[in-house]
Each structure stands twice: as C-alpha cells, then as structure tokens.
Amino acid sequence: MSEARTLSLAEIAARLGGEVVGNGQTQIARVASLAGADAQSITFLANPKYRAQLAGTRAGAVILAPAARAATALPRIVAAHPYAYFARVSALLNPPRPEPVGRHASASIDASAEVDRSASIGPHVSIAAGVRIGAHTIIGAGCHIGAESVIGAHSRLYSNVVVYERCRIGMRAIIHAGAVIGADGFGFAHEADAGGGAWLKVPQVGGVVIGDDVEIGANTTIDRGAIEDTVIGDGVKLDNQIQVGHNVQIGAHTAVAACVGIAGSARIGRHCQIGGAAGILGHLEICDGVTISPFSLVTKSIHKPGVYTGIMPLAEHRNWLTRAAHLNRLDELAQRLADLEKQSKR
Amino acid sequence: MSEARTLSLAEIAARLGGEVVGNGQTQIARVASLAGADAQSITFLANPKYRAQLAGTRAGAVILAPAARAATALPRIVAAHPYAYFARVSALLNPPRPEPVGRHASASIDASAEVDRSASIGPHVSIAAGVRIGAHTIIGAGCHIGAESVIGAHSRLYSNVVVYERCRIGMRAIIHAGAVIGADGFGFAHEADAGGGAWLKVPQVGGVVIGDDVEIGANTTIDRGAIEDTVIGDGVKLDNQIQVGHNVQIGAHTAVAACVGIAGSARIGRHCQIGGAAGILGHLEICDGVTISPFSLVTKSIHKPGVYTGIMPLAEHRNWLTRAAHLNRLDELAQRLADLEKQSKR
Amino acid sequence: MSEARTLSLAEIAARLGGEVVGNGQTQIARVASLAGADAQSITFLANPKYRAQLAGTRAGAVILAPAARAATALPRIVAAHPYAYFARVSALLNPPRPEPVGRHASASIDASAEVDRSASIGPHVSIAAGVRIGAHTIIGAGCHIGAESVIGAHSRLYSNVVVYERCRIGMRAIIHAGAVIGADGFGFAHEADAGGGAWLKVPQVGGVVIGDDVEIGANTTIDRGAIEDTVIGDGVKLDNQIQVGHNVQIGAHTAVAACVGIAGSARIGRHCQIGGAAGILGHLEICDGVTISPFSLVTKSIHKPGVYTGIMPLAEHRNWLTRAAHLNRLDELAQRLADLEKQSKR
C-alpha cells in the first residue's frame, strides 16, 4: 500500500494478460472506483448497471469484459473477468508493507520452537514450546502461539491473534487481529448426581486444523474439537466476528460473512456462501453449493444446493405490532379458515 | 472513580447550574440509584414511573425536573434534564484514574512516530512508523498502532486495541479493549477462470476515518475501505461487538447498540438509533433520524424517519411449533382464503 | 493434554467409582468417540440412538449406563451418568499442560499488587496497582488486569484477556482468550439542551462481580455496571462472543451459548439455558429454569419455566419470497377472513 509506484497499461497486461486497447503508455498509480477515479487511476466495469457511471468517470484507464469493449473511449484493458483482473492490478500497485525479517527484541520465544529465519516475529509476541513457524510468515505484535502449534509458510497473523496449543494452520493464511484459534469448545455434562445441578467441564482434547489459503477475520473465534479436530478446508474465507463451534467442518472455498454462528459438529460443504449473521445449528449437514441468506437460521440438514432464507420482513413499527398480534394468533386464524371451509361445503 | 472526594450541593450547582432547593451544604460522595442510595449519595428522577421509589429512597439529595420539584422533601437540585445533569455530577465525583504521562519502558515505539509528550503509552504497546498520537491521549497496555495512523488529542484506547495502518481517529475518542480498527474488508473476486472456484483476495486499500467524540465498544471491529475509506461521523457511539463492514458510512451522533452487523457500503444517516443485534445489509441507505428495533434486519433503503421493526415474536415452544407449521404453509392458507372468497361471490 | 500416560480400567474405577465389567487390566491411553476409538481408547454410550455405532466400535473399553450394561461384550465401566463419567476420565488422561510458577521476566506488575507465589504470570502481562491474584492462578500471555481487581485462586486466564479496574472474579474461573471484563456499559444521556443532539456519556462506576466456577468464552464481553455491579453467579458457563450489558444479573449454573446478546439490567434466573445467538432485551426478568431457543429474542419478562422459541423458519428462497409477501399483508388476510365470516353469518 505504498504510493510511489506507477505502471503502464502495457506493463500491467504483460504481467497479467488481457488486451490493451488505446494508449498502452498510460501511467497508472492507483486503483479507484468509477466515481472516485482520477487520471492516474485504473477502474473497472464488472456490473452492467454501472455503465452510466462509466460515462462520467475521470479514470486514466478502465478494465472491461469483452462484451463491454466498446463502452468507453478511454484507454482500457479487456479481460474475461474484470473484477478479478482489477484485484490483481490492485495487488501489483499495493504490495504489502514489508515487515522486518527476524525476531523483535521484545518477543518471547521458547528455545524449542522452530521459527524459520525468513519469518518476521513482531513486538510482544510469545511463542511456546515446540511451535513451528514457516518461511516468510509474519507474526504480528502481541500474538501468542500455544505449544506445538504449527503455522505454514507465507502466512500473516495480524496483531493480537491467539492460537492455542496443538493447532495447525496451513500456508498463505491471513488471520486478522483479535482472532482466537483453538479455545475450548462449549462442552459440559450435566452432573445430575451432584447436588445443585452444576455443570461438569468436558475436556476439549481435539485441535483445530486449518487448510491452505484461508483468511480469518478480526475477532473471529474457532474452537478446538472436543475429541477429534475442528477442520477448516483450503481456501475458506471467514469474515469478522464469526463463531465456529467445536468439531465443525467447513469445506473448501466456502465463504462466510461476518457475525455468523456455527454450532458444534455442523458440517458445511464446499463452495457454500453463508450470509452475515446467519446461524447454523449443531450436528447437521449442509451439502456443497448452498447459499444461506443473511440473518437466517439453518435448523435442519440441507441436501440440495440452492438459496435458503428465513428472514422476518421489516415493517414500520406500528404495522409490525399488528403483524405480531396476527402471528401470535396464527393458529386461531388457520382454525377459523378451516371452519369456514367446512361450513361452505355443507 | 476514586472515593475520597465529596462535594456540597451548592458546589455542584455552582459548577453545573441548576437550582438548589433545601440544604445546599449537604455533602455528596457518590451517585446512586433511587433504591441503592445512602445519605452521602445523590440520585435522580427522570422517569415519572419511578416516583414511588422516590418516596422510599435514603438518598442525601435528588436531581429532579422542574415539574417534579415538589415530589420530595429531600435536598435537591432542580434541572431541566435530570439524567444529563446526573451524568455530569457523576463525572465530577468519578474523575478517571490518572495514567502516568510518558512511555512505559516496555513499549516499542518507532523512532519516526510522533507521540505527544503529554500522552501516556502503556506497557507492551507497539507503535509503528509514522504514527502520530495527540496530546493527553492514553494508549492502554497491549495496544498496537499500525504505520501512519493518527490518533487525536484527549483520546483513550483501553488495553489490547488494534489499529491497522493508515487509520485516522479524531479527538476525545474512547475505544474499549479488544476493538479492531482497519482490518481488511471482506472482499473477494470469484475467480471463475481459475479451476476449483477459488476466491481471489481484493486488496483493501482504503482506510478508516473516525470523527471526534466517538466511543467504540469492546471487541467491536471496523473494517478499512476497499478503495475509499470507511467513515464514522462525529459523536457516533458504538457499543460492544459491533461489526462495521468496509466503506460503511455512519452519520454524526448515531448510536448503535451491541452485536449489530453493518454490511459493506451501507450508509446510515445522522441521529439514528440501531437496536442490539440488528442487521443492515450492504449498499443501502438509511436516512437521518431512523430507529431500528433490536434483532431486526434492514434489507432495503429507508427514506423516511421513524421506527422500523422485524422481530419474530417469542412463544412457548409447542405453540411456536404450530405457528412455524402454519408459516410453512402460509401460501396455501392464502390460496384457500382466496378460493373461499371466489366461492362466496358466486 | 499429554500423551504418555495410560491407566487401567481398574485404576480408573478406583478413582472415579463405577463398576468394571470384563478385563480390569485393559490399558487406556485416551478418550475417543465410538467411531474414532482404537484399542487404547475408552469411549461412552450416553444416548441410546448411538447403539448401532457401539456394535462397530474398535474401542478398548466403553462407559455405559446400568440399563445398557449388556449392550456390549467389550471391557466396560458401568456408571450412572456415562457422559459425566467420561468427562472425568478425560480430565484424568488429559491433565492441563503445567505453566511455570512465578512471573515471566517481561511481565509488568505494579509493586502494590499482591500476586500469590504459586501463581503463574505469563509474558507481556500487565498488572496494575492494588490487584490481587490468588494461589495457583494462571495469567496467560498478554493479559491486562486493571487497578484493584481481584482474581480468585485456581483460576486460569488464557492469552489477551482484559480485566478493567475494580472487577472481582471468583475461584476456579476459566476465561478464554480475548474476553473483556468490565468495559464501560453503553450509557448515554440525550443532551436535549445541547445543540445538535449530541450524546453525553454517563460514567459507568459500578464493577463486575463473578462467582466461583465460572467459564467465560473467547472474545466474550461483560460490561461493568452503570451504578451498581454486573453480577455473574456461581457455576455460570458463558460461551464465546457473548455480550453481557451493564447491570445484568445471571443466576447460578445458567449456561449461555455463543453469540448471545443480553441487554442492560436484564435479570436471568438460575439453571437457565440460553441458545446460541438468542437475544434478551434490557430491564426484564427471566425466572429460574427457562430455556430460550437459539436465534430467539426475549422481549418480555418470563415468569414460568419452560422452553421459549421465536425462530422464523427457513425456506427455499423463492418460497420465502412468497411467504414474506404474505407476511407483509397478514393484516389484510386477517381482515378478509373476518369479512368472509361476517358474510357467512348473514
């Protein structure tokens, strides 16, 4: 995310493919939205509904799909997937700020830990016995890594991430600040024989296993398994403040939006998309390719790909009051309807 | 929140205004509720429904509105807004515990950072290159401030707050423990051309801009913008565990209760109130002066001030089972009703 | 959670009771599920619906209830409460990894704090003035304990827990990473007299009082009281990412699943169970022995034990669209039904 670098359209296409139309020497310093662009910006059109904005953009260049090739006279790059192409251009123009290789003087690292020499260990980090940290991995300030945990190469943990003991995280992970990996699952036995109905803690002896190319959002929590492991597949993307219960399995390339809660032992398929603040009850199964709408609760297994929703519509409050009253007597309404039907058949 | 200080009613009124009725030399050591007060306490009556409790209070003094002036014989202060007045008295009686000015020996501060001499930097803090910290600002233990971020004067970050790089926080901010400002928004392009349907990260190159007099609750997360900034207006109050997605804009003096999720690019007006665990979908707009009830999801833009609600009423579980069954056939019920209507017209 | 230790069935029964049936010298190294067990594993059958799996298990031994005593020919322990017994066996086989007694060199501990000699204070911890830490208590890396707070004996705080000033936590507490105890409650007075409708902060001068044997999940937040204390009873179990507002009271042995929000001044009874992502509005009361289903919002006090639910059922999206349309005209539907009834009575 530095500022000095510029690239010409021709240089961009040389690295990322696509066809340059117009002046290939146009210099690009930054990415921008259609509305916010200036002469040194490259922007993109992926959704036809923004065509009107395209007419007014002051961008230096635009990325377009083949079908929109003629939609502007600006210098442009024609690419099959404009938004993905834009993401790659942005990555070229905004390389991550480099972190110093080696161990910050204030880090506390157990002698038995194996930290690759190319890794960067930030201030106030603690790394316990037997931990292994892969090549080029960055451990941000204030992270704490529990005993015998493993973090793969080319990963980045931002500040104040906590990884409990015996967790395994793959390569190229991105874990945002405040995430907690491997805390105890919520497992208690009802001690029926003890007086007073107290709860007895069930030790959570499984771990957490996270695949490659996983991103985990800020303050998200992934609990360790009760007996076996909690498993997050390759390429899974988890947004902020998600709760993943013990023994959950999430299939590869599933994306979960913020504030979702996934109860213990739920199994979610591959390529699913779970909307924000949705919920998934425990011990059920969701097949591959399912989309759950935001704010919707999954209470049973889903065996058919598709989109599923359970949202209570919003209304002006006084209308909602009436609606809630009707909902509270929905049984009576149905009964009255059945009575009328019976009567009309006589 | 010390204990030794007492103030007379006359001294309080001299500083805060209001009219003393009764013995102005009454000494006040602390604030209290009507029920919990003792002879050294001052309490308040703001809501007429607590008048009965007023009769039984053992408080040394009471703050009342002009209309309730005669509601007690106790020494009292008559003020237009008793609850606001009470808040100010409490602030007088409970000054914040002072933090030592200067830098704790264990803090790790980049040489290029500009930390005002009057600021207090706690233990195990890290402050990266180019950061600026204003006068009298307190950075609590274990906070990490990313490169080039700016925190205004008279602000307080409690412990373990993380601010990513290039964020700007205004004056008099209060940010509670575990909050994360500036983590990446949840932005991925579907790489349709890549095999396997993997997600491609879209670099999040915007920042976060937070106005003056903003309070942010514990473990709340505010993501940085994808391209432009995420913007929080002056005087906004955010409770705990709120998620603010990338490019959200929240207007001045809006208050958001705990556990709310606000999806990317939503724009919320000024003087709104968002109830606990409500949700706001992305790319929509809420005008000024809107109240959203708790647990309600906003799925469309709102252009008219008012109160909006979408709560599924609670019921005894067996009644809910019946109700859910009716909801699952609501379409059929409506059809049967239409059939009857048709029949009755014949 | 070490690995070397094995125990014979006879040794287990000698410590925990129960009746050994079959070879008491069977050596047990670990606990396992019925499906995942091997010859050195002990597993359990608590729920009759897993009887089929019992037939196929390769476990070395099984824990069963008296009624299921003859359900297997494997070596076994017969115990009244197999799951609770299993939890105890797991605790025997998986003793917690010991933490070094004493203070890590990097910890910052105020001279006036009283830290028991048997306590373990981890790296990068800060402990403020007047704090007291009980015997055998473990304070994990990166925890920060505010002035005058007290943490009872035999407690464990995992990494990056923040306890604000003047909070009291009982004995045998387990607090997971990222939890925040004692942040300010969300209390603001509307400053009607000030221009612009700004909010005025009400100082939060109460504390948090937590009983004995309480477990608190990762990134859970418990706010301090506004005037009096927030109170969590003995034996309460809180899962991850729960928000407990100011002045809430939770009765003994109540269990709260992840992502629940409890608004200010709510009072929850003893032995309640609150399902995941449920909500409880402020200033209401829930009696002892109430179960709230997941995703359900409590909007009124509950005075009768039982199970309460308010879930909007999930549907395929196109069906939900129809259903939502009907819900939006539920009032009209009810009116049409009433019209038909009137007509049919003529």
Average pLDDT over residues B99-103: 95
Q: Measured between CB atoms, which of A108, A166, A202 is closest to C87?
A: A202
**From the candidates C57, C120, C241, C316, which should be mutated to test the interface with A, based on the most A CB atoms within 10 A?**
C241
Measuring CA to CA, which residue among A137, A181, A144 is closest to residue A160? A144
Contact A308 C327 (CB under 8 A): no
Contact between A217 and A199 (Cβ < 8 Å): no
For a pLDDT cut of 90, what percent of chain A falls above it?
92
Instruction: Per-residue pLDDT tens, chain C, 346 aa: give them.
Output: 445 589 999 999 999 999 999 999 999 999 999 999 999 999 999 988 899 999 999 999 999 999 999 999 999 999 999 999 999 999 999 999 899 999 999 999 999 999 999 999 999 999 999 999 999 999 999 999 999 999 999 999 999 999 999 999 999 999 999 999 999 999 999 876 555 689 999 999 999 999 999 999 999 999 999 999 999 999 999 999 999 999 999 999 999 999 999 999 999 999 999 999 999 999 999 999 999 999 999 999 999 999 999 999 999 999 999 999 999 999 999 999 999 999 887 7
Mean pLDDT of A177-184: 98
pLDDT at B180 over 80: yes
Contact A311 B298 (CB under 8 A): no
For A259-272, what is each residue's pLDDT tens digit?
A: 999 999 999 999 99
Chain A residues whose beta carbon lies within 8 Å of the beta carbon of residue C252: 196
Active site residue A124: no
- Band the pLDDT of A2: cuts 50, 70, 90: very low
Residue B15 amino acid letter: R
DSSP A344: H
Cβ contact (<8 Å) for A219 and B221?
yes
Work out how many CB contacts closer than 8 A connect A with B.
234
User: Does this complex have an ipTM over 0.90?
Assistant: yes
Mean pLDDT, residues A153-178? 98
Q: What is the DSSP letter of C190?
A: E
The C-alpha angle with vertex A144 and arms to A138 and A148, in degrees rounded to 5, equals: 90
Residues B158 and C327: their CA atoms lie apart, in Å, by: 45
SS3 C343: helix
Which of C160, C235, C316 shows the shortest C-beta gap to A160?
Answer: C160
Q: Helices in chain B by DSSP H: which ranges?
A: 9-16, 51-56, 82-93, 317-328, 330-345
Give the distance from residue B220's alpha carbon to the nearest chain A alpha carbon, in angstroms.
8
User: What tokens appear for B155 in the block?
Assistant: 């602000």
The CA-atom distances, in angstroms, between C219 and each of A41, A180, B253, C160 are 40, 8, 27, 10
Number of H helices, E strands in chain B: 5, 40
Q: Rounded to two decimals, what is the model's pTM? A: 0.97
Q: Beta-carbon neighbour count of residue A294 at 10 Å?
A: 23
Interface test with A, best of B127, B199, B229 (most A CBs within 10 A): B199
In this prediction, residue C196 carries a pLDDT of 66
Please tell me which of the candidates B106, B180, B311 has its beta carbon nearest to residue A219.
B180
Closest chain B C-alpha to A313 CA, distance in angstroms: 5
Q: How far apart are CA C124 and CA A123, in angstroms?
A: 10
Backbone angles phi, psi at A326, to 5 degrees: -65, -40
Residue B257, token pair as written in the block = 């209760």
Contact, A266 vs A284, CB < 8 A? yes
Residues in chain A with CB shorter than 8 Å from the CB of C312 are 296-297, 310-312
Spatial separation of the C-alpha atoms in residues A223 and A214, rounded to whole Å: 16
Report the pLDDT averaged over residues A200-229. 97
Question: Residue range A276-283: average pLDDT?
Answer: 98
pLDDT over threshold 70, residue B221: yes
| Contacts of B among chains (3+ CB pairs under 8 A) | A, C
**Which phi and psi angles does C201 have, rounded to 5°?**
-70, 135
Measure CB to CB from residue B297 to each of A83, A142, A294 and give the nearest one. Answer: A294
Residue C193 is predicted with a pLDDT of: 54
Specify whether the CB–CB gap between B134 and B112 falls below 8 A.
Answer: no
State the Cα–Cα distance between residues A281 and B297, nearest whole angstrom: 20
CA A36 to chain centre: 26
DSSP 8-state symbol, C47: S
What is the average pLDDT value for chain A, to the nearest integer?
95
Upper half-sphere CA count for residue C292 (Cβ side, 13 Å): 36
Task: Give which of A43, A295, A339, A346 to mutate to test B binding, by max B Cβ within 10 Å.
Answer: A295
Tokens, residue B135? 């006068």
Are B284 and B266 spatial neighbours (Cβ–Cβ below 8 Å)? yes
Q: Would you give the DSSP letter of residue B48? A: G
Which strands sit side by side in the sheet containing C167-169, from one edge to the other? C114-115, C132-133, C150-151, C167-169, C208-210, C230-232, C249-250, C267-268, C285-286
Report the distance separating Cα C293 and Cα C310, nearest Å: 7
Helix (H, G, I), strand (E, B) or coil at C5: coil
Angle at B237 between CA B234 and CA B238, to 5 degrees: 125
Which positions of C are catalytic?
246
What value does the CA radius of gyration of chain A take, rounded to a whole number of Å?
Answer: 26
State the distance between the two ends of chain C, measured CA to CA, in whole angstroms: 78
Distance from the Cα of C165 to chain A's closest Cα (Å) equals 21
Pairing mode of beta strands C27-28, C7-8: antiparallel
- Taking an 8 Å cut-off on Cβ atoms, the answer to whether B315 and C310 are in contact is yes
CA distance A213 to chain C (A): 24
**Treating both helix axes as pointing N-terminal to C-terminal, what angle do B330-345 and C317-328 enclose, rounded to 10 degrees?**
50
| Tokens (6 digits) for A173 | 């992970």
Residue type, position B126, single letter: S
The answer to whether the CB atoms of A87 and B309 lie below 8 A apart is: no
- The whole-number pLDDT of residue B5 equals 80
- Tokens of residue B64, six digits: 């009342």
SS3 B77: strand
Burial of B132 (0-12, 13-18, 19+ CB in 10 A): middle
Which residues of chain C lie closer than 8 angstroms to B92, CB-CB?
none
Q: Which two tokens stand for residue B68?
A: 């309730």
pLDDT of residue A178: 98
Helix (H, G, I), strand (E, B) or coil at A317: helix
Residue among A106, A252, A321 whose CB faces B108 most closely: A106
Number of other residues whose CB lies within 10 A of the CB of residue B289: 16
Contact B1 C144 (CB under 8 A): no
Burial of A119 per CB tally in 10 Å (0-12, 13-18, 19+): buried
Q: Which of C172, C131, C128, C168 is CA-nearest to residue C148? A: C131
Digit-coded pLDDT (tens) for B264-315: 999 999 999 999 999 999 999 999 999 999 999 999 999 999 999 999 999 9
Q: In this predicted structure, what is the pLDDT of residue C203? A: 97
C273 in helix, strand or coil? strand
DSSP codes of every residue in B142-160? T-EE-TT-EE-TT-EE-TT
Distance CA B195, CA B30 (A): 67
Q: Residue A311 has which token pair?
A: 């949202």
Contacts of A252 in chain B (CB under 8 A): 196
SS3 sequence, B214-266?
A: CEECCCCEEECCCCCCEEECCCCEECCCCEECCCCEECCCCEECCCCEECCCC
